[in-house]
Structure 1
Amino acid sequence: MKFVEGGTFALYSLLCRHAKVSTIPNQHKTDEELTTYSRQTYEENSLAAKVKRWLEGHAYKKNCLLILVLIGTCTAIGDGILTPAISVLSASGGIRVQNQNMSTDVVVIVAVVILIGLFCMQHYGTDKVGWLFAPLVLLWFILIGSVGVVNIHKYNSSVLKAYNPVYIFRYFKRGKSEIWASLGGVMLSITGTEALYADLCHFPVLAIQIAFTLVVFPCLLLAYTGQAAYIIDHKDHVADAFYRSIPGPIYWPAFIIATLAAVVASQATISATYSIIKQALALGCFPRVNVVHTSKKFLGQIYIPDINWILMILCIAVTAGFKNQSQIGNAYGTAVVIVMLVTTFLMVPVMLLVWKSHWILVVIFLVLSLTVELPYFTACINKVDQGGWVPLVIAITFFIIMYVWHFCTVKRYEFEMHSKVSMAWILGLGPSLGLVRVPGIGFVYTELASGVPHIFSHFITNLPAIHSVVVFACVKYLPVYTVPVEERFIMKRIGPKNYHMFRCVARYGYKDIHKKDEDFEKMLLDRLLVFVRLESMMDGYSDSEDFTMMEQKGERSTRALLTEKAGSNTMSSIGDMSYSSHDSIMPAKSPLTGNSLTRYSSQTFGDEQEFLNRCKDAGVVHILGNTVVQARRDSGIVKKVAVNYVYAFLRKLCRENSVIFNVPHESLLNVGQIYYI
């Protein structure tokens, strides 16, 4: 399995695949049969198995894991705000170096203009101009590396002694608090590395490894060493050491390259932020927003308009508010080190469960990582009052949004699970469901992957009619990168044939996007007809059986799962199709007898296909639940505020499901109901 996505949520999705730690229990064992769903098997007494059982043991452990993931995610979003601010402001500061009479406000205005232009161009994507990024960044690294070599030779070559580890030991041996606090500034020399993992969908892993080892790391060492050599002879030029150390003849070309490189660095972080938001959205941790696919060639290149403008406003506010690199640098360092710490802690269960690493290797990794990260963390925390509070405020704000949304999403799902309609009640209504069955097809959208949702009973209780064909459509996201189109849909029949009730589960990965030109209704209808055709090929099928179809390689190679009554375990094959036993949606011992379970074997595929086509021509209606979620009266004040106000406000701002699936307004029917959680 090749994973082509990174970030804290990608690590979380790995853990969700290998252990039952997801807080939304909507997964089914058929999901594990996807070609993109890779998981490990463990020996009973192995360390990995013990860790797996420990994580799955209690709900609070799953919740703590989710909180850790959200902390890293929210801080990474703050990183997406601070990176453009400090990068562009630092590059723009070169104007003032050549003109000492220029005020700081002019530099800030130039930076703000560049930032506005950068965010306004996001909707075009990077597909058409991305080819410029690599040569530009390569030129930038060659430039700073060359300038570093010149400065080392020109000012003080003895600075190369700093590569001896003895000097860092002597440095800290002095024991002054200022020395420890200086690590917060050193942290800025490694910022940007935390975004590499979230950018894995844009660049191959091998390309990142080669570029960093052969180009980035050597050039950065030369650049920082050269600046140190310059500062030794010019101690009053610390604030502008980079621009002041550039030789005069190449100053303005270097300024232009630095500004363009800052834009590229900002673009990388903004793209990483989009990817993080998309992952959080798919895993039920962020309100529904519009995700635009900007490239037909590269799946990972997306654009989120709402998030783009929020990032722009916050980025401009930070730039215009601080007006200097020092305080933004303190904020930036705090955000980066928190992301690194969270990634380190998440890597521990990944190494144990996914990689099956020996516990000694895990301990070595943890000790080495924390030995580097904890000193930087303590140094950055000491600068909270000097600008380090900014990423904390941003992270707390996004954490509240994401955690409240996820909490209410889970509670909504649990409410639907507990209030779903029993099949015995449905069968007791008879084929007409106790109503007038009017021509047409009704798609009833639900979050349940099994069972009949409460919205259906609410609908038929308040209306005297229902469509001739009813399809319960469930759209769910799995903790995988993508679900192949040929494996996306699972189709079932609910009840006897003459009830004409079906279930369709559409499965997506956290990088799959609903495109504007994607006709979701047509896709559902096509899968329904394919299912009926395959079902007609089954011999000895009875109305009490539950038939599940999951396409594997188009219509020619389709795997179907057939469940007979409890106690049976059959397997047969027809051509390229295989059938095996599966859990039935029907009760093993139905209290109903007689006509309610009469066979309709005389109905051929042609008859039902003709019936479905007539219903399709009569009209298709999409029934969505317009639910209002409220906290119970006995809930605490915190829960009431979170559910009745925060979640309600977010629900008003987020996109409707009808927009996501391109449902025509003339075919939309909203059914209102209240959920008390």
Structure 2
Amino acid sequence: MSTITEHEESTIVSEEEKPQEQLNGEDLHSDNKLTRYDSMDIESGKLGRRYHHGGGATKSGEWAVVLQLAFQSLGVVYGDIGTSPLYVYASTFTDGIKDKDDILGVLSLIFYTITLIPLIKYVFIVLRANDHGDGGTFALYSLICRYAKVGLIPSQEIEDQNVSTFQLQLPNNRLRIASKLQTKLENSNFAKYFLLFATMLGTSMVIGDGVLTPCISVLSAVGGIKESASFMTEDMIVGASVAILIFLFMVQRFGTDKVGYSFAPIICVWFSFIAGIGIYNFFRYDPSVIKALNPMYIVYYFKRNKERAWISLGGVVLSITGTEALFADVGHFSVRSIQISMCTVTYPALILAYTGQASFLRKNNLFVADTFYKSIPGPLYWPMFVVAVLASIIASQAMISGTFSIIQQSLSLGCFPRVKIVHTSTKYQGQVYVPEINYLLMLACVCVTLGFRTTEKIGNAYGIAVVFVMTLTSAFLVLIMIMIWKTHILLIISYVLIIGTIEIVYLSSVLYKFDQGGYLPLAFAMILMSIMYVWNDVYRKKYYFELDHKISQEKVKEIVDHTNSQRLPGLAVFYSELVHGIPPIFKHYIANVPALHSVLIFVSFKSLPISKVPIEERFLFRRVQPKDLQVFRCVVRYGYKDVRNEQEPFERLLIEKLKEFITEDYHIGSEMICTNVDEVQNEGELVEDVVQCDNELVSVKREEAIERDVEYLDKAWQDGVVHLVGEHEVVAAKGANIGKRVLIDYAYNFLKKNLRQSNKVFDIPHKRMLKVGMTYEL
């Protein structure tokens, strides 16, 4: 491998793009003007106007579809929060119940926590912040990136704003505060890094949640067997839980479509059981717990218990575990369907379940450690045990599927090493499976279950992961309220004072148990964030290096013209992540292999801060002048939920879209010529016949040129396609400090060598792939 260094003499492209306002305002009917810019604004504007559509909101009249989606959402979204009654009271009263009125205080806390956080905050506020139907931390980050230029890679182009799913619908009032905040974010490198850091932290915590949810749910459900099978020891319960967890992860390869969507009836039975048992216990034991609707019982609870009451909040917060799934999984369904299922099924069932358990504990406070199973009427015990185990598996499935989606989103933004993404469903686009991550999650779950053994310690860890993500979501939401929604300042202050204060109090409580297992999600997050930081930092350095050493179109023409040997029959596709210009790998390839194929296509993969890019708007082309070179640039744009080259004929699609571009390119050129002739026509009537003759001549010449170029492309495709992939070796530059050398030479290269290469990720055929080795000194 030869080396390109930053000190090497190389051609730097001076293709500076003009500001958006200036470009939009220019007369673009000039071929000379068009070739001055390294931009694809003309074609993208045409696509944006042709394929524009709305944000994908559910039609109000399709109630049958909405209700069907609401039913299906029960099996995917609510497994985690729905199984919380298994362990909430046990985790709250870890030292037993000292005063019966404490039960009323805790029930009041649970009631208002579920009402304010999952119901009001998520169902009625956060779900509005979806990104064309998709939710999660990356959806919030993508909205902010689209409104303010806070991305750390300089790949935001004017033409990307023409993608139909890119556009934001913005109100026009209260612009002053929004404009100030936008300017501060765009001008502050600290703010850009902090937003990316917060996004990484939030996603890392959700992945940690994906580890802890299976552990605590399965262990809680299986632990109930000791009520009727006294011979079961703790070791046997832990062993059975581990076996279920291993089985759960082994079936992930079949996909969420097969594993998850059939679970809705089971969750419906689960909610019916816990609601019915709640009503039974409420009337049988102590209907007076209805007094807990008075929030003063919370005040009395804190007066009596002081610090112990504050510590117990770490158990109460477990009643809202899995709430983030309401937002993260909205892309599988719709906002309206989630709202219906939460308000009509999940919320009432949970309130009835916790109320019934509180009534039972008022008369049987010694059974607080096994509240759930002790409160079940005898004849229903075994049916409830079976449903509880099944529901806990479903709860695990929701977070595991969410983890796969998060990894896919992180990968698209250059924040995670390349791993294999398997699209498991042709019907549901967002359902993916990541083999490496699946087995790492399984190993982590088994280790946590064997190491902690009880739900109490796992619950301490679980609470931190849950509250951290909620707090970060609120922080992002406040930015969106100010900049995008232009919400009234008094409403924003009210949100921060009410919701923000509650979450901060809960966060302080769960952090108190840091040394009792609470360190686990933070340890997971630190490991994941270290991986994300190393990969993203070197990813950005590589991008800037290629940007500084890109090749101008004039240099490409010179290279092609001076290639010693003739053009080879066939088509060559050069892959690169560089969006601006042609990557330096081309010059390196020619220096070592002085031969070129008859058609060259430089393909750049670009991730946009949107969830999905419609297939009609995915490919943007630009021809390297002059036309007889048969050299093209192509930017392939993906959203963070799009699947790259998985179950789609990428090569065929690329050729078809290139043919469409060639046709449109000639049409645009002829329109410009005709426009200039029409200007001559206006000067007098004497040239009218000549104009008509010229127009006909232009049309004939255009069709001949289109047919010739399309046939030339077809022949090159039939002669064979070679895929050229850069095999970049990245090393720290001479004189780099020790931190940079450790980061690049050891940490990054370790990750790169132990994970999949780009050809495996993009499914490039091995028989037609050629790797071009280069060394980048960063």
Q: TM-score of the superposition, structure 2-length normalised?
A: 0.77
Instruction: Return the offset for 1:263.
Output: 1.1
Q: Deviations over 1:540-567 (max 9, x none)?
A: 59xxxxxxxxxxxxxxxxxxxx9x9xxx
- Picking from 472, 490, 502, the partner of 1:342 is 472
| 2:114 is the alignment partner of 1:13 | no
Compared CA separation, residues 144 and 429, structure 1 to 2 (3 A) = closer
Instruction: Return the offset for 1:334.
Output: 0.8
- Picking from 11, 32, 49, the partner of 2:161 is 32
Aligned residue for 2:48?
A: none
| 2:640 is the alignment partner of 1:510 | yes
Counterparts of 1:218 and 1:386, CA distance in 2: 33
Aligned residue for 2:503?
A: 373
- Picking from 598, 616, 621, the partner of 2:717 is 616
Compared CA separation, residues 312 and 534, structure 1 to 2 (3 A) = same
Instruction: Return the offset for 1:613.
Output: 2.9
Aligned residue for 1:256?
A: 386
Instruction: Return the offset for 1:433.
Output: 4.3
Counterparts of 1:443 and 1:248, CA distance in 2: 69
| 2:429 is the alignment partner of 1:294 | no
Aligned residue for 2:580?
A: 450
Instruction: Tell me which amino acid in the other structure corresponds to 1:611.
Output: Y
| 2:620 is the alignment partner of 1:519 | no
Q: Deviations over 1:375-395 (max 9, x none)?
A: 111110010111111101101
Aligned residue for 1:594?
A: none
Q: Deviations over 1:566-595 (max 9, x none)?
A: xxx9999xxxxxxxxxxxxxxxxxxxxxxx
| 2:607 is the alignment partner of 1:477 | yes
Contact 1:108 1:323 in 2 (8 A): yes
Aligned residue for 1:633?
A: 734
Aligned residue for 1:358?
A: 488
Instruction: Tell me which amino acid in the other structure corresponds to 1:391.
Output: P
Aligned pairs for 1:447-596 (under 5 A) are: 447-539=577-669
- Picking from 667, 672, 675, the partner of 2:768 is 667
Aligned residue for 2:540?
A: 410
Contact 1:150 1:226 in 2 (8 A): yes
Instruction: Return the offset for 1:538.
Output: 4.4
Classify the secondary structure of the residue corresponding to 1:46.
helix
Aligned residue for 2:370?
A: 240
Which ranges of structure 1 fall in alignment gaps of 5 or more residues?
A: 542-561, 573-599
Higher strand share: 1
Instruction: Return the offset for 1:437.
Output: 2.3
Contact 1:436 1:464 in 2 (8 A): no
Q: Deviations over 1:389-416 (max 9, x none)?
A: 1101101111111121111111111111
Contact 1:84 1:266 in 2 (8 A): yes
Which ranges of structure 2 fall in alignment gaps of 5 or more residues?
A: 1-54, 57-131, 679-700
Counterparts of 1:196 and 1:422, CA distance in 2: 48
Counterparts of 1:44 and 1:358, CA distance in 2: 8
Q: TM-score of the superposition, structure 1-length normalised?
A: 0.88
Q: Deviations over 1:306-347 (max 9, x none)?
A: 111111111111111111000000100111000111111111
Contact 2:174 2:486 in 1 (8 A): no
Counterparts of 1:286 and 1:356, CA distance in 2: 33
Higher helix share: 2
Counterparts of 1:521 and 1:257, CA distance in 2: 48
- Picking from 306, 310, 324, the partner of 2:436 is 306
Compared CA separation, residues 610 and 207, structure 1 to 2 (3 A) = closer
Q: Deviations over 1:173-201 (max 9, x none)?
A: 23632121011111111111122211112
Counterparts of 2:589 and 2:169, CA distance in 1: 43
Instruction: Tell me which amino acid in the other structure corresponds to 2:359.
Output: A
Counterparts of 1:641 and 1:570, CA distance in 2: 60
| 2:187 is the alignment partner of 1:57 | yes
Counterparts of 2:431 and 2:718, CA distance in 1: 38
Instruction: Return the offset for 1:476.
Output: 1.1
Counterparts of 1:127 and 1:401, CA distance in 2: 30
Counterparts of 2:627 and 2:362, CA distance in 1: 86
| 2:124 is the alignment partner of 1:23 | no
Classify the secondary structure of the residue corresponding to 1:635.
coil
Instruction: Return the offset for 1:602.
Output: 12
Contact 2:423 2:646 in 1 (8 A): no
Instruction: Return the offset for 1:58.
Output: 2.1
- The 10-residue stretch of structure 1 (77-86 or 629-638) with the greater mean CA deviation from structure 2: 629-638
Aligned residue for 1:588?
A: none
Compared CA separation, residues 487 and 673, structure 1 to 2 (3 A) = same
The share of aligned pairs that are identical, in percent, is: 45
| 2:175 is the alignment partner of 1:74 | no
Instruction: Return the offset for 1:659.
Output: 2.4
Aligned residue for 2:121?
A: none
Counterparts of 2:288 and 2:483, CA distance in 1: 48
Counterparts of 1:153 and 1:259, CA distance in 2: 27
Q: Deviations over 1:598-643 (max 9, x none)?
A: xx99982333333323322332111111001122233333332222
Counterparts of 1:657 and 1:189, CA distance in 2: 42
Contact 2:725 2:769 in 1 (8 A): yes
Compared CA separation, residues 181 and 538, structure 1 to 2 (3 A) = closer
Instruction: Tell me which amino acid in the other structure corresponds to 1:36.
Output: T
- The 10-residue stretch of structure 1 (512-521 or 321-330) with the greater mean CA deviation from structure 2: 512-521
| 2:312 is the alignment partner of 1:185 | no
Instruction: Return the offset for 1:516.
Output: 4.1
Aligned residue for 1:134?
A: 264
Instruction: Return the offset for 1:432.
Output: 4.5
Classify the secondary structure of the residue corresponding to 1:23.
coil
- The 10-residue stretch of structure 1 (127-136 or 64-73) with the greater mean CA deviation from structure 2: 127-136
Classify the secondary structure of the residue corresponding to 2:486.
coil
Contact 2:134 2:328 in 1 (8 A): yes
Aligned residue for 1:382?
A: 512
Instruction: Return the offset for 1:80.
Output: 0.5
Counterparts of 1:305 and 1:503, CA distance in 2: 33
Classify the secondary structure of the residue corresponding to 2:561.
coil
Counterparts of 1:301 and 1:61, CA distance in 2: 32
Classify the secondary structure of the residue corresponding to 1:39.
coil
Counterparts of 1:4 and 1:321, CA distance in 2: 39
Compared CA separation, residues 570 and 50, structure 1 to 2 (3 A) = farther
Counterparts of 2:508 and 2:174, CA distance in 1: 40
Counterparts of 1:430 and 1:121, CA distance in 2: 53
Counterparts of 2:677 and 2:372, CA distance in 1: 72
Counterparts of 2:731 and 2:478, CA distance in 1: 38
Counterparts of 1:68 and 1:319, CA distance in 2: 29
Compared CA separation, residues 255 and 430, structure 1 to 2 (3 A) = closer
Contact 1:432 1:499 in 2 (8 A): no
Instruction: Return the offset for 1:372.
Output: 0.9
Aligned residue for 1:201?
A: 331
- Picking from 123, 128, 133, the partner of 1:4 is 133
Instruction: Return the offset for 1:134.
Output: 2.1
Contact 1:420 1:454 in 2 (8 A): yes
Aligned residue for 1:169?
A: 299
Classify the secondary structure of the residue corresponding to 2:772.
strand
Instruction: Tell me which amino acid in the other structure corresponds to 1:319.
Output: T
Instruction: Return the offset for 1:35.
Output: 1.0
Instruction: Return the offset for 1:64.
Output: 0.6
Counterparts of 1:291 and 1:649, CA distance in 2: 21
Contact 2:419 2:761 in 1 (8 A): no
Contact 2:422 2:433 in 1 (8 A): yes
Counterparts of 2:560 and 2:534, CA distance in 1: 42
Counterparts of 1:223 and 1:110, CA distance in 2: 27
Contact 2:666 2:702 in 1 (8 A): no
Contact 1:520 1:661 in 2 (8 A): no
